[in-house]
Structure 1
C-alpha cells in the first residue's frame, strides 16, 4: 500500500528545513541539496514541491509571515486593554525563543531582496503602519503627535531591538524588552 503524504505538512517541513539551513549557513548556503539533506528528503522530493530555489525561498518566507500574523491575530481573541494588546502584538516581532530563527531568516531574505533590487513594501513596516493608523482612527493616540514620524520611530525601535538581540550587543531579556516597548507606547497613547 502506498504511503499517504500530507503535502501541506511536507511543504512546511521543507520550509522549516530551509529556515534551519539559512540560520546556520546564510542564504548562500541554502541550496536545494542542503535543504533536502536538512529535511531528510531526497532531492527529487524537494523538487517535486518546488521547481526552483527562488520558489522555495518565497514559500519559506511566506510561511514566516503567516506564522507571525497568526500569532499576532491570536492576541486579538482575548479581551485586553488596547495598549496591552499592541504590546503583545509588537513582541511577536522580537526574536526571542523560537522567534529567533524567524528573524534570522527574515533578515537574510530582506538582504537578498535588497541585493536583487526586488524589495517591495516590507510586511513588518506595513503591519506597524496599519496598527498605528487604526490606533489613531480609534482615538487612542495623543492628538499632538506626528503620526508618520511616530510610526517610523516605533518601527525603528522594534527593528533595533531585534538586531541588538540577534547580534548580542546588549543583554536584553523579555521583561526588559517589554518595558522598553511599553515606555514607547506610554509616550504616544492617550
Structure 2
C-alpha cells in the first residue's frame, strides 16, 4: 500500500529544515542539497515541491511571516487592555526561545534581498503602521504625537532589541524587554 503524504506538512518540514540550515550556515549554505539532507529527504523529493532555491526561500520566509502573524492574531482573541495587547503583540517579534530561529532567518533573508536590490515593502513596518493608526483612531494615543515618527521609533526599538538579543552583547531577559517596550508604550498612549 503506498504511503500517503500530507503535502502541506511536507512543505512545512522542508521550510523548517531551510530555517535550520540558514541559522547554522547562512544563506550561502542553504543549497537545495543541504536542505534535503537536513529534512532527511531525497533531493528529488525537495525538488518535487520547489523547482528553484529561490522558490524554496520565498516559501520558507512566508512561513516565518505566517507563524508570527498567527501568534499575533491569537493575542487579539484574548480580552486584555489595549496597551497590554500591543505589548504582547510586539513581543512576538522578540527572538526568545523558539522565536530565535525565526529572527535569525528573517535577518538573513532581508540581507539577501537587500544585496539583490529586491527588497519590497516591509510587512512588519506596515503592520505597525496599521496598528498605530487603529490605536489613534480609537483615541488611545496622545494627540501631540507624530504618527509616522512614532511608528518608525517603535519599529526601530523592537528591531534594535531583537538585534541586541541575537548578538548576545547586551543581556536582556524577557522581563527587561517587556519593561523597555512598556515604557515606550506609556510614552505614546493617552
* Alignment TM class, shorter chain as reference: over 0.9
TM-score, L = length of structure 1: 0.99
Match in the other structure for 2:174: 174
Match in the other structure for 2:27: 27
* 5+ long unaligned stretches in structure 2: none
Match in the other structure for 1:86: 86
Distance in structure 2 (CA, Å) of the matches to 1:122 and 1:168: 25
My pick for the range that moved more, 45-54 or 130-139, is: 130-139
**Cα distance, 1:103 vs. partner?**
0.2
Deviations 1:57-100 (A, max 9, x none): 00000000000000000000000000000000000000000000
Match in the other structure for 1:143: 143
TM-score, L = length of structure 2: 0.99
**Cα distance, 1:169 vs. partner?**
1.5
* 5+ long unaligned stretches in structure 1: none
Match in the other structure for 2:47: 47
Distance in structure 2 (CA, Å) of the matches to 1:104 and 1:148: 27
**Cα distance, 1:124 vs. partner?**
1.1
Q: Does 1:74 align with 2:74?
A: yes
Matched residue pairs, number?
Answer: 190
Deviations 1:120-164 (A, max 9, x none): 011111111111111111110000111111111000000000000
Give the CA RMSD over aligned residues.
0.4
